[in-house]
Structures are given as structure tokens and as C-alpha cells.
Amino acid sequence: MPLQFVYSLKDFVTDVCPWSGNDPAVTSAPSKFDVTIKAGWTDRMKKGLFRYPLCELQTRILPGPLGFVAQLNIQRGVVRRKPQEILSVQQEFNAKQFNFNKINPDEIVCEMIRGSDDVSDSGELTPPCRMVVLVNVSPLEFGHCLFVPDPPRCLPQILTRFAIQVGIESVLLSSDPAFRVGFNSLGAFASVNHLHLHGYYLDHELKIESVPTKALVPAKGFHRLLTFPAGFLFYAEAEHVEAVSKAICHATDFLVAKNIAHNMFLTRGCSPDVQREKHSCLRKGVRIAVWPRLSCFGAKEESAFNVALCELAGHLPFKNKKDYELTTEKDVTDIIQMYLLPEEEFYRLELQLVDHLLCL
């Protein structure tokens, strides 16, 4: 039987130290969540359950104002399982294809269960729910796990309110600002049509944690990112997770209904309501970026630079040494721009989402 990680509101880490290099004086102690994920992931690596051993990845910061974090991970492009062919954002689950009910049970790190004695935003008791955490056997980075809501339900790769909420909660359970969570929709380079989120540790600061925003529907925590790449931002602190999760799901349901592909990235970050110097603000809450984008259907080419949740957030996994060494910030922005919605279409969508969220 998998290890059960039972948590409640009291386990959320409300104050995470800002990025401080290797200064131990301002480094937070590992939380119970971090210990569980890191120890479980390391144990599976030692047992040889991964497709390749992941040593410390060669990393460089691309020169330029966007601070892209480039990493070289050749093996992921060589031995990773072949991605499924995707034809629609709304594609139904297919039990004949690979899904997370077919994995080796030893790959499961734990089951996350929200305690039944917690009170929700609405004042009601929160029922216990089940999120299975398993290692990604073709890891991007240290601790790379997949968060799969109740796998036997065979949910397609379409966000649910529960998946979003646990994604936010997992970031709040971590005391390490390096822990990130993300989601690729179908048509946005999701490789498996079985609902899952990615979680991993990237020990580098990303601009998305502190870039300025414009408030669109402040009551729902909804903002527009004011820097490249064009997208939206939600923000949640511990006491507002349920309400913000509901708003995000309302927005992503709208995108799915219109067959608009999208990526989501969750990270500790500054409140968009407070403008401060980037190194002076504690990461009390979670920034949730959502990028609507042009769809890419068919099977993705694993050796290519595919624009998904990592790339949009400023983390660039490269699968060959030449691209890793020679690619410039302009090269990256030019590629990403090809996948973004045209400006007129983006602003039209923004108005539609504002109206949609005001009706929530």
C-alpha cells in the first residue's frame, strides 16, 4: 500500500525566504512535504526505476533581461516514451493507450490526502480527496514527479478544480522556493491524455515570480502579465486557495470549450498587489500563470525545442549540446512568439475571460 501523506491547513508554509544563493542563514528548513517528495524520488532513482540516471544538469543563464534558465538534458530527448498523438483539446481518454494505471506500482511515491477536519473557504468541512504522486521516469530535473488525481477515474488531460487546488496546495506545502508545478493541456505539448500535473525542483529564480501585472478582476485574483510571454496570472495565499482554484478552473473550462490550448505554471512569488524590489519580498503566496496559445496537434518531436509549461515560465530544457550552447534570448523569444496567440486575438480573449469571471 502506498505511503499516505495526510495534510491540513496547518502544514502550509506561509513565509518562504526569497532567493538567497547558498546562504544558510536565510534558507528555510525542509517541510514534511519536501522530505517526503525528495526522499521518495531519490529512493526510486537508487532502485533504478528511471529511464536514465539524472546527475546535476549543466545549466546556464542566457544573457538578456528575461533571465532564461537553460539546461542540457540529452537523455530525455533520446529515451523518453513516445508521446501520444493528440488531435483535440477536448480529446477523450483512451484506455488502450498508455495511462498511469499501467505504471509499475513501485513508481508511486505517496498518496496526498487532505485531512477531513479542515474547513473550506465557505466554512464547510473539506472532504478527504486522493492525489497519487509518482516519479516521472524521464525526469526534467531533481524531484520531477507527476500528480495524478484518482487514476482509476481515467480523467482526460483537462484541468479540474481539485487538480488545480492540490497543485496550489503542494506549492504551499513546500518550504523550498525551487519547487514548481505545471500543466500542459492537450494541444499544448501534453504527452499523455490522462489528467496529471508536473512537479519538480529548479534551484534558480525565475522572472515569473516577480514580474509586474495589471489587475483585471482583482476579486478573483485575475491579472494580466505585463512582460513577455503574454499571458494571465492568478495569485493565491493559503486562506484563498479554494476560491482562486474555482476561478482558475472557470477560466480554463472556458478555454477548453473554445478548444484553446493552454499551459499553466505555479510557483512561489510576490503578491501582484505589492510592487517591491525582487529580492525584498517573501514568497507568501503562489503565482499561477496561464498562457492561452496556438494548438499543436499530432505527435510532438522529442528532439525539438517544444514550447510548453517550462519554456513559457523561463526554464529551457535543451536536448542537444549545440542548441544549449548557441541559442540566444532572441532565438528563444522568436520561437515562443510563434506559439502565442496573435495580439488581437489575445486581447479579445482577455475581454471574454473578464466577463466570464465577473459572472462567477
Question: For the purposes of burial, counting CB atoms within 10 Å of the CB of 359, is it exposed (0-12), middle (13-18) or buried (19 or more)?
Answer: exposed
**Residues 6 or more apart in contact with residue 79 via CB below 8 angstroms:** 51, 52, 138
Phi and psi of 157, rounded to 5°? -75, 65
Q: What is the DSSP letter of 63?
A: S
Phi and psi of 359, rounded to 5°? -85, -5
Look-up of cell digits 495511462: 99
Distance (Å, rounded) from C-alpha 210 to C-alpha 206? 8
First to last CA, the chain: 40
Whether 196 is catalytic is: yes
Q: Using CA of residue 325, residue 331, residue 336, residue 339, what is the dihedral sign? A: negative
Out of 144, 196, 198, 315, the active site residue is: 196
Distance (Å, rounded) from C-alpha 206 to C-alpha 78? 27
**77 φ/ψ sector (left φ>0, alpha ψ -120 to 50, else beta):** alpha
> Catalytic residue numbers?
196
